Amino acid sequence: MFLKNYPLANLTSLGVGGPADFFVQPSSLEEVVRAQRFALEKGYPLTVIGYGTNLLIKDGGIRGVVVQIAAPFAKAKVDGTALIATTGCLLSSLSKLALHHGLSGLEFAVGIPGGLGGAAFMNAGAYGGEIGPLVRSVQLVQDGVVKNWPRSELSFAYRHSRFQQETSTPIVTEVELELVPQKREAILQKMNDLQHQRRSKQPLEYPSAGSTFKRPPDHYVGPLIEKAGLKGLRIGGAEVSTKHAGFIVKTGEATARDFLELIATIQSVIWEKFGVRLEPEIRILGED
């Protein structure tokens, strides 16, 4: 069930990072429970990841147990206006399932490359839409026990949820979304429009982890970085995208250290020039 010293760089869109001491990819709720109980019984740290599209893993890797919720744990159904899905489902696939059933609300997710679990964890969003307002309830495993939380207990805010502040690591296993009936033609038109915007503005031709920084109050990250003269700045194989300065892309051989140094440089310059603190939107995990 568990793989030892598994190379996590294989699982992230950036393709960098060290190994996991123990790695498991569950295919059922029972396997999720077993994985968490194993970590608890052994006293190992537990880290949960999805498809690795919003993730920077440090070069030393991650100690303890890494649980990846991905394709083997992907199942979804529609019941009236509710879309119920396990957290290994890709957001883009769920948006297309909603389209098929004439349900609106997930159009923004058509171009987001990650999974439902990561989206719920960070309240993922794009182009004015977020997952949080759509969530009716979640199933999770915490302390080796299956639990259910209604939306009222999830504390969704901009790129934030209750899951991020729990002292005992939760593994989100299923999410119920409440959608709205709409004509398929209107849903498809909106999805196509958003996809066009994404392709025209984002550096999809290079590996990245999506938007590097959260949007600070009263500012937009890309224009701020560009105004500071940092567009195209490169450290090793990590580069501030020349297409959209809010993204850091991988342009060749790179290490996690390259990305971390570039992130720190951007934060320092933006603070010195504008007095604005940039907080990473990407998850940074592991050890140097």
Provide the annotated active-site residues: 159, 211, 281
Write 189-198 long-range contacts (CB < 8 A, 24+): 190/104, 190/107, 191/95, 191/99, 191/107, 191/110, 194/107, 194/108, 194/110, 194/111, 194/126, 194/127, 195/110, 195/111, 197/127, 198/111, 198/126
Is 207 in contact with 13 (CB distance < 8 Å)? Answer: yes
**How many residues belong to the chain?**
288
Name the percent of the chain in helix, strand, coil, to the closest 5. Answer: 35, 30, 35
To 10 degrees, the CA torsion angle through 187, 193, 199, 202? -100
Q: To which H or E segment does residue 34 belong?
A: helix 29-42
- Cβ-based neighbours of 49, under 8 Å, separated by 6 or more: 8, 11, 55, 66, 67, 68, 69, 118, 285
- Cβ-based neighbours of 253, under 8 Å, separated by 6 or more: 236, 237
To 10 degrees, the CA torsion angle through 91, 253, 59, 32? 30
Structure tokens at 133: 């307002």
Instruction: Compute the distance between CA of residue 177 and CA of residue 103 in angstroms, rounded to an integer.
Output: 11
